[in-house]
Amino acid sequence: MSLVTMNINGHEVKAENREPILKSIRAMGIKVPTLCHMDGLEPYGVCRMCVVQVKHGKRTKLVTSCNFPAAEGLEIQTDTEEVLQHRRMMAELLLARSPEVKKVQEIAASLGITKSRFKVAETSDCILCGLCVRVCDEIVGASALGFIGRGKDRVVGTPWYVNTDSCIACGACTYVCPTGAMQMETLTKERWRRELSGKERICRYARMGLISNKVCPNNFECATCEVDQQLFDEFGTHPILALKPGLHQHPKQVGHFSLIEDRSYFQGHTWAKTSKEHTRVGVDDFAQKVIGGISRVAFRAEPGDVVHRGDPALNVSNNGHRATMLFPISGKIIHINPALEDDPSLVNEDCYDRGWLYTMKPTNSYEDKSTLINPDEADQWTQDESDHLFSILTDSKSAALSDGGELLHNFSRNLEKKDWERITNSFFSGGELS
């Protein structure tokens, strides 16, 4: 990244090229009000409270600083009369829509506005900042929420206003909502016990994979829950905002297989992803596709066990074919993924996220780093493995490579025993046909 020089309120400032100018402005200690901005989310520019005046070349204009990219020679003014007038107008409009919301009242008051001239037919606590929609999409990765309607009819909701399976009830949307419009719904205690089975009362942190398993006895009233308090204390924020399971790690495609760049890979087609607290391991897309429709998994280690790289981690079977996947790193097992025992096909559906296997405390992260395949080399490695796989699959007399076509789903079901053994021996760790 190259540095550019800009001028903010008469001071020269260096900033990274194309980085949003709000960052540089705030770094100078200048207060800019925002409602729709949150660090870690893509800028959105809808509340328009962060407008500043930018002069580039001969043109001067008002822009939203949260999403305006830094460039060489920008002259930025944050407190001209025009800027303040614009902010006052936005505050008045917001105050008319959401007169009861404390945050809006505060921002309006800081601009000298206490009463709005505008009248609206229906007030709402939701200011349509989109933080809940974006956090659900970008950080949680669930995309359960969206905007419905347009213009004055725009609201936040789930598709067709019905309960959605995509929601993991993590509560991140209620946590980031600046106005309190987004709330968790709770049932009455009686309905809670009577109508929901134990499976439906799984604690939200168990569904996020942070704790092994817990049935909530508390009507999902997390505010009075001990576990909730412990995890908030541990992470210092909503745990899912610290872990960011969905943060922009869209898999990239290498031939027939996908890879995610935020983790390292093991020769036996398992991955390890390190965060501040622990390392999570799972199987990669290559393994998932080659093994096919996984019907059963058996964990080979339990929480508390100490394992070594290359130890057996998981037995998987696909209606007859079996394979054993290996641990990519050495360490102590903290959790196993409880969801897999109920639904082993999660490994096929989402091998890089919801289909994880273990969380571990690594014994030697330095050694792990030097032995695993890092994301830069993973593309080439996957391409080589793909070519190797096809040369095995097509080996009647000698290997052949082809161009074109998609892998057939669950193709390994039709493989003969000797081919399956060759594949598991070459790519995983040996397997058998039952």
Partner 1 sequence: MRPQELPSKLRIVSLGNTPQNAEERAYSAIQSCFGLNCELLSPEPPPEFALDVLRGQCNSLEILDWLESRFPQPDQWIFGITDVDLAIPVLTFVFGEARLGGRSAVISTFRLHEEFYGRPADTLMLLSRIEKEAIHEVGHMMGLTHCLDRNCVMYPSNSLSQTDVKSIKLCPDCRSNLYS
Site map for partner 1, 219-258, x if CB under 8 A?
-----------------------------------xxx--
Interacting residue with partner 1 among 163, 370, 396, 434 (CB under 8 A): 396
**Nearest Cα residue to 263 out of 239, 238, 245:** 245
Q: Which of 85, 213, 374, 380 binds partner 1 (CB under 8 A)?
A: 380
Amino acid present at 365: S
Q: Is 416 in the site for partner 1 (CB under 8 A)?
A: no
Cβ closer to partner 1: 167 or 407? 407
* Per-position b or e across 331-340, b if 16+ CB within 10 A of its CB: bebbbbbebb
**Interface region with partner 1, contact rule CB under 8 A, candidates 20-28, 142-150, 172-180, 385-393:** 385-393
User: Using the rule CB under 8 A, is 414 a contact of partner 1?
Assistant: yes
Q: Which of 85, 123, 295, 391 binds partner 1 (CB under 8 A)?
A: 391
**CB count, 10 Å around CB of 260?**
19
Among 72, 234, 367, 384, binds partner 1 (CB under 8 A): 384
Helices of type H across 198-268: 204-207, 226-235, 239-243
Query: Min. distance of Cβ 328 from partner 1 in angstroms?
Result: 23
Candidate residues 399, 425, 426, 430; the one interacting with partner 1 per rule CB under 8 A: 399
Maximum separation of any 2 CA atoms in the chain, in Å: 84
With contacts defined by CB under 8 A, name the span among 60-68, 112-120, 232-240, 404-412 that binds partner 1.
404-412
Query: CA gyration radius for the chain?
Result: 26
- Are the CB atoms for 100 and 153 separated by under 8 Å? no
Which runs of consecutive H residues, i.e. helices, occur in 98-235? 102-110, 131-134, 172-176, 189-195, 204-207, 226-235
Closest CA to 340 of 327, 324, 351: 351
Identify the CA nearest to 11 among candidates 32, 25, 31.
Answer: 25
* Cβ-based nearer residue to partner 1, 357 or 415: 415
The residue type of 2 is S
Q: Kindly state the helix (H) or strand (E) to which residue 351 belongs, with its residue range.
A: none
Contact window for partner 1 (CB under 8 A) among 5-13, 95-103, 173-181, 407-415:
407-415
Instruction: Give the nearer residue to partner 1 in terms of CB position, either 203 or 260.
Output: 260
Q: Is 418 in the site for partner 1 (CB under 8 A)?
A: no
The only residue of 386, 421, 432, 433 in contact with partner 1, by rule CB under 8 A: 386
Binding residues (CB under 8 A) for partner 1: these are 254-256, 379-380, 383-384, 386-387, 390-391, 393-394, 396-408, 411, 414
